[in-house]
Structure 1
Amino acid sequence: MLNNKIQRITVKKNERALLLRNGDFDRVLQSGTHWLFAGLDTLRVETFALEQPAFTNGLADYLMAQEPTVVAANFVQVNLSEREVGLRSENGVLVEILPPGTRRLYWKGLVDVAVQVVNLQNGAELPSDLVARLTQTQLRQRAVTGLNGVLQVQVPEGQCALLTLDGKVERLLTAGAYAFWKYGRTLAVELVDLRLQTVEVSGQDIMTRDKVSLRLNLSATYRITNVLQAFAQLQKPADYLYRELQFALRAAVGTRTLDELLE
């Protein structure tokens, strides 16, 4: 709080300050020394460290609506629509994914803040160069925030993935890394093993035609060759195969006598 005398205020080189007169915004104070005369007014100065560029002050909406010149001179402004997301970088490094509808201000002057706007109507899939930047976040000194709006998919060698968009099969993903925007969409991915697999039907108690009780096990190998066709017709192809083998085993044993089975 400043009294009615002339006061000297120093704003450091890594700071900016807001001058409030009687509680209302007056102006932005740049780094340097400022002489302020209060008169009959009540002055207050709020300082901000530029190392943290996000401007979270309650005056943000007022400044964006009523002080466009001040905003243009001092801030990077973000104003995303409901169909846009933002890729926010600091000094050339991706640090945050901004969701649709974001309205924010970031101080200029120390940290180089840039926001790339992405139109969600251009498709759900992220470009490969952006996917590579997202999949290595654990190796960064600073993690990317806002990843809850992105579905990341890693398909191993020997497998594929069935991508479902809004309840409909969209496409088949081969081995590799993918990412998709989840905003405004319902996405699901199911991994499918394309290698030779084994299914075991164990402990089946079956009675032969001549009433002899047997406990049998059956082992079979299979490989899915047409994933789209298999999942278009069956929700769980592996479960279906297990049941079909179980029924076939019972039919083969139950219609024969023990002697016929031993021949």
Structure 2
Amino acid sequence: MNWHFLMTHVTVKDGERALLTRNGRLERVLGPGRHRLFDPRNELAAEIFKVVRAEFPAERYLVLKAARPDLAAELFEMVETKADEVAIVNLDGRPMQLMTPWQARVYWKVATSVDVERIDMTADPRVTARHLAMIDRNRSVVVTEAVVENHEAGLLFVEGRLLERLAPGRHAFWIVGRKIEVKRLDLRPQAVEITAQEMLTKDRIALRVTLTAFRRIVDPERVVAVVPDVDAWLYRLVQFAIREAVAGRTLDEVLSAKAALDAELRDYVRERIADSGVEVTELGVKDVILPGEIRELVNKVVEAERVAKANLIRRQEETAATRSLLNTAKLMEENPLLLRLKELESLERLVEKVGRIDLHAGDGQGFDALLTKLVRLKPTESA
């Protein structure tokens, strides 16, 4: 805008509008083009605005509406939201703005189509898939999202009250004016390691026991109502159970009756979690850790038991071998042919280990004397 020789020149481009004021009061709106205005006292002023998908200050709109309601209705679209209401503003069919409760915005509508979709959040806290696609989820402060996996249970809490159990998938909710929380519980079996703690047996021997428990959530609604932390609660419960079981047993009973100890622990724990919505599928002792001097004594006892067992097995084998030799001797005594076969077998072993043998059978004895007199297990009758 410039002033020259009593005239004011204003150039308005396409996609723009100019508000022409005289001494601060609106006279008219200038459209695209070059305008020559008679202004001998230099009283005119033109303010140029972009009008394509553009906003106009709400405060100035209210002033303009009070002075020229007809002009305000022709040029602008004002969008206001109430309590518990959000609005999605579409400019030329594209969602451009999400308005929260108690907001007011003004848009130029001379070159842009302005459509408003209002959503009452009191009816349903859920955000539909169509509305969710229209919202910039990275910057939105009115929507919360949660994804429930196939192996999870999602519990919807509105203002601290359990409303429903959500199916697997993506869920979105309006959070303006309310507190919404989605608790996700893993329904798969989980392992809980109960670390070692020192305790005394019935015979006053200190030891430490580590256990492993496998638990599974079977009733999510019941779990959130009675158990604040499933793993911590189960951890303490198993600790109490093992202390009570060890305190009533001697060291030998703890070490020898592991199966009975595991069964007792499972019964103890299952009885106390029956109404909690948690199921313990397995529970057992993993390690029993003894003090150094006790461990040495136990090792010596175990070693002595193994030596004694080895000696017993060796004596049993020797007895069996002796009995076998006795039976063989009886058979050879009753059967001369069997004895002769045994003699020849001994001769075969001897020949395999000796490179050369010189034999003198005597005059007139021949080869028969060589075979009969070389090896004998039984003395001759003349001997």
TM range (shorter): 0.7 to 0.9
Q: Percent identity?
A: 33
Structure-2 separation of matches of 1:119 and 1:6: 54
Deviation at 1:174, TM superposition (A): 2.1
Deviation at 1:58, TM superposition (A): 4.3
Unmatched 5+ residue regions in structure 1? 135-142
Structure-2 separation of matches of 1:65 and 1:156: 56
- Report the CA distance shift for 1:102/1:214 in structure 2 as closer, same or farther (over 3 A): same
Please name the residue that 2:216 is paired with.
223
CA distances 1:58-95 after superposition (whole Å, capped 9, x unpaired): 41332355544323322222011122111123333333
- Report the CA distance shift for 1:19/1:130 in structure 2 as closer, same or farther (over 3 A): same
Structure-2 separation of matches of 1:257 and 1:90: 82
Deviation at 1:40, TM superposition (A): 4.3
Q: Give the helix-richer structure, 1 or 2.
A: 2
Letter of the structure 2 residue corresponding to residue 90 of structure 1? L
Please name the residue that 2:170 is paired with.
177
Q: Determine if contact 1:2/1:43 at 8 Å carries over to the other structure.
A: no
Q: Determine if contact 1:11/1:30 at 8 Å carries over to the other structure.
A: yes
Does 1:104 pair with 2:71?
no
- Which deviates more, 99-108 or 63-72? 63-72
- Which deviates more, 209-218 or 172-181? 209-218
Please name the residue that 2:145 is paired with.
152
Q: Determine if contact 1:96/1:145 at 8 Å carries over to the other structure.
A: no
CA distances 1:27-69 after superposition (whole Å, capped 9, x unpaired): 3322233333345463222212234512236413323555443
Which one has more relative contact order, counting CA pairs under 8 Å at least 6 apart? 1
Q: Determine if contact 2:6/2:42 at 8 Å carries over to the other structure.
A: no
Please name the residue that 2:92 is paired with.
91
Count of residue pairs the alignment pairs up: 255
Letter of the structure 1 residue corresponding to residue 237 of structure 2? E
Q: Determine if contact 1:99/1:146 at 8 Å carries over to the other structure.
A: no
Structure 2 residue matching 1:223: 3-state secondary structure:
strand
Structure-2 separation of matches of 1:46 and 1:117: 33
Does 1:71 pair with 2:68?
no
- Give 2:244's match in structure 1, choosing from 214, 226, 251: 251
Letter of the structure 1 residue corresponding to residue 173 of structure 2? F
- Give 1:236's match in structure 2, choosing from 229, 234, 238: 229
Deviation at 1:203, TM superposition (A): 2.5
Structure-2 separation of matches of 1:153 and 1:65: 46
Structure 2 residue matching 1:61: 3-state secondary structure:
helix
Matches within 5 A, 1:114-153: 114-134=115-135, 143=136, 147-153=140-146
Structure-2 separation of matches of 1:7 and 1:78: 35
- Report the CA distance shift for 1:80/1:245 in structure 2 as closer, same or farther (over 3 A): same
Q: Which runs of 4+ in 1 moved over 6 A?
A: none
Please name the residue that 2:23 is paired with.
22
Does 1:46 pair with 2:47?
yes
If the length of structure 1 is used for normalisation, what is the TM-score?
0.85
Deviation at 1:12, TM superposition (A): 0.8
Structure 1 residue matching 2:73: 3-state secondary structure:
helix
Please name the residue that 2:157 is paired with.
164
Unmatched 5+ residue regions in structure 2? 258-383
Deviation at 1:99, TM superposition (A): 0.5
Structure 2 residue matching 1:154: 3-state secondary structure:
strand
Structure-2 separation of matches of 1:83 and 1:64: 27
Q: Determine if contact 2:75/2:109 at 8 Å carries over to the other structure.
A: yes
Letter of the structure 2 residue corresponding to residue 101 of structure 1? W
Structure-2 separation of matches of 1:183 and 1:65: 32
Please name the residue that 1:31 is paired with.
32
- Report the CA distance shift for 1:238/1:25 in structure 2 as closer, same or farther (over 3 A): farther
Please name the residue that 1:204 is paired with.
197
If the length of structure 2 is used for normalisation, what is the TM-score?
0.60
Q: Give the strand-richer structure, 1 or 2.
A: 1
